[in-house]
Amino acid sequence: MSCRLVKSWFFFVFSLSYCMSLSAAAIEEIIVTATKRGEQVLQEVPSAIQAFTGDGIKDAIATEFSELAPMVPSLQLQDLGPGDKEYIIRGCNSTATSTTGVYYDEAVITARTKQDGGGRQADIEMHDLERIEILKGPQGSLYGASSTCGTIRFIPNQPDATGMDASFGGWVSDTQDGGTNWQGDGMINIPIVADVFAVRAVGWITQEDGYIDNLLLGNNDINDNEVGGGRLAAQWLVGEDLKLTAYGLVQNRDVGGTSRQMPILQDTFATNYAASSTALAAVGFPAVQPAGQTRTTQQFTTTEWNEDLTLYGLKGEYDTEWGSFLLATNWFERDIEFNFDSTPILLFFGVPVPAVTAQPQKREVWTTEFRFASALDGPVQYLIGGFISQEDKTFESQVIATGTDGRPLAPFEPGDPNTIFGRSKTDQLDQQAIFGEAEWTLNDTWSVLVGARWYQFDIGSQNLETQPFGGAPSLVPVSFNIDDSEVTFKGNITYRFNDDGLVYATVSEGFRPGGTNDIAFIAPGDPIPPAGFGSDSLINYEFGWKTAWNENRLIVNGAVFFIDWEDIQVSSFEPGTPFNVVRNVGTAEITGIELELNARPVDGLDLYVGGSWQNAEFTSEIPGAGPGQPFALSGQPIPNVPDFQFGASGQYTWPMFQEMDAVVRVEYSFRDDTLIAPNDPVNNVNLDSFSLVNLKFGLETERWSANLFIKNLLDEDNALFDAINSTQDPRAVLTARPRTIGLALRYAFDFN
């Protein structure tokens, strides 16, 4: 596969370059700040970085990052529904905490949640962004914890004191098997004091109708999604060299129900249900259908997801002749109320009671980073900084009996007959780090960079059983404490063979911090599970290139990489107990190729093609539920990592009327097949390969645009982003949103 991919790619590039018109305008340069050393041209940074500009986001009519993800080679999106996403870069997928770091401006918003289905990466809608940067490969020296195989940075537009600006827009659409959706957003930038002080305000609201029907409760279109939010920023240019910026962001999301579809129920669930059907029928439930309809689910309870997130930040930047200082402090808070159906697991244990599990959870993260980036006259430049983080997290699990309407019969109350089980956990995580990089430019062609990061973390947890399965709660908390420290390194050699091209070789390390396990109680005579787990780590060997041709009308970038992953954090059930615990077990290797092409063959036509091939597999046995039941064997693939991914887009703009252009855009993406549990024939689900096609047609001027768009043109039912299958969660799949047709409008004011 990899050889055919490379040969086909170079043939395509050669043909395109040969046919390209020399009269076409050059592709615009993209400026990034990924290296934390100020603004740099993307093509001049010797690292695998992909960026979407604000205009690119608007061209794709994208509201959330999941709509752009298919265009990113080596990025796999696991989608468990609105507000619950997981990003996998270069095949680094395992349970426990995230392997991809996520930043909003300078704020760390990376998810750190081990519980099934609960609160993973936050979906902050993409309004008034300057750009998005995707850094591929370990970012252990500059970004640290959880940037194991990559980092995603969302960078908003800053207040502008040089002039007033305002715009608004939105879209209205209709979804197959659903209903009407609409979205609106607006921005205003006001210079309070010209060239000195400005404020920028952004607001948004989104209403998406559901398309999943719950056959058991008789509720239709349950997975509706309502989002509202805003951002307010102020910037004060104290002098020529000092700049202060403060901002606040809030967003609320209410989801009516699960996006999981259950077309075919797990056999064990059907058997358990049949044995309990009389008892459940007595309280008014219909029979579960062994084979349901498309875009339906069969759940005994309502499954809402409600969340509030807030983000506050303060940043100071001071420039001198010999370098720049930056101090940034941020506060991130996320509150989630999440419900899922517990009836299947109760039926498995022979308890014929419909029940819901409520999982209220709260996370508060305060981070501060200070760094200095040099701007010296000599051949050596360096960056040095420090980072501290404090995090408090609370998590509860409350199992409550429900009625035929799918709602709890009573509030969670220990000792109440409707309260079945409960536990809680609190975490306190403290992290510190010192990091730096130094680059030596040997001559006009060669440069060498070295970097390192020392980190330390300490996490303390208290677990409490608030309601056992019968009897009185233990009310004795189980406390654990885990700490660790380590140093990660990075090295890079770059050769610039002309003004338009470079090649580089990089060796870099990445890590995830460890944590504590969720153990509410230890009964007398039970085995004592591991209290926690340590950091895992990997090393990445990479060779990459960045080239521009035909006076920057054709850009061809790529990388070949090999990753050696050790002490992988893997979750499995502890034998002899009801606990799911995380251990550091097993090793894996990942080999891959990434290729990207941007071209402007003629004026008005912009083409993008990007693809990746990965071979991600375990190199040792990964323990599972017990002896003789390994999660994976050596040589088996890492779950949810496709071998091949491909994305392409083409946009053509041409004059239609005076000062008005017509535009047509086509997007195509392909993802290869993959598995969710390679060594588990009972619970594995095959995620078949699929393709998605999006279209856009419209009229645009400098101030306004009107575009008709179609997403998922072919209405693919088999576009499976993810699947879940276990005793607790019977076989369910999560698919792309059905065909959606809409109209997008946008207007920008002219104050000149």
List pLDDT tens digits, range 202-241: 999 999 999 999 988 889 999 999 999 999 999 999 988 9
List pLDDT tens digits, range 160-177: 999 999 999 999 999 999
- Whole-number Å distance between alpha carbons of 612 and 638: 16
**Joined tokens for residue 157:** 């537009």
What's the pTM value of the predicted model, to 2 decimals? 0.94
3-state DSSP assignment of residue 108: strand
CATH number for 2-748 (one of 2.40.170.20, 2.60.420.10, 3.30.420.280, 3.90.1200.10): it is 2.40.170.20
- Whole-number Å distance between alpha carbons of 247 and 272: 53
List pLDDT tens digits, range 491-520: 999 999 999 999 999 999 998 888 888 777
3-state DSSP assignment of residue 196: coil
**Joined tokens for residue 355:** 């029940």
State the pairing for strand pair 129-136/380-401: unpaired
Please tell me the predicted confidence (pLDDT) of residue 1: 47
3-state DSSP assignment of residue 69: helix
E strand segments, 553-675: 554-566, 569-573, 580-584, 587-599, 605-618, 644-657, 660-671, 674-675
If you ran DSSP here, which 8-state letter would residue 518 be given?
-
* AA letter at 492: N
Contact between residue 24 and residue 707 where contact means Cβ atoms under 8 Å apart: no
Can you tell me the mean pLDDT for 371-391? 96
Please tell me the predicted confidence (pLDDT) of residue 277: 62
Q: Which of 39, 42, 31 is nearest to 326 (CA)?
A: 39
List pLDDT tens digits, range 7-59: 555 555 555 555 565 668 899 999 999 999 999 999 999 999 999 999 999 99
Residue 118 has pLDDT above 50, yes or no: no
Q: 12's torsion region: left (phi>0), alpha (psi -120 to 50) or beta? A: alpha
Can you tell me the mean pLDDT for 536-553? 95
- Whole-number Å distance between alpha carbons of 231 and 226: 17
Q: Which of 503, 360, 493, 375 is nearest to 425 (CA)?
A: 360
List pLDDT tens digits, range 587-621: 999 999 999 999 999 999 999 999 999 999 999 98
Can you tell me the mean pLDDT for 252-256? 96
C-alpha distances (whole Å) from 329 to each of 39, 244, 387 are 21, 12, 10
Q: How confident is the model at residue 452 (pLDDT cuts 50, 70, 90)?
A: very high
- Whole-number Å distance between alpha carbons of 617 and 639: 9
Q: Which of 242, 237, 244, 380 is nearest to 324 (CA)?
A: 242
Helix (H) or strand (E) holding 347: helix 343-348
If you ran DSSP here, which 8-state letter would residue 28 be given?
P
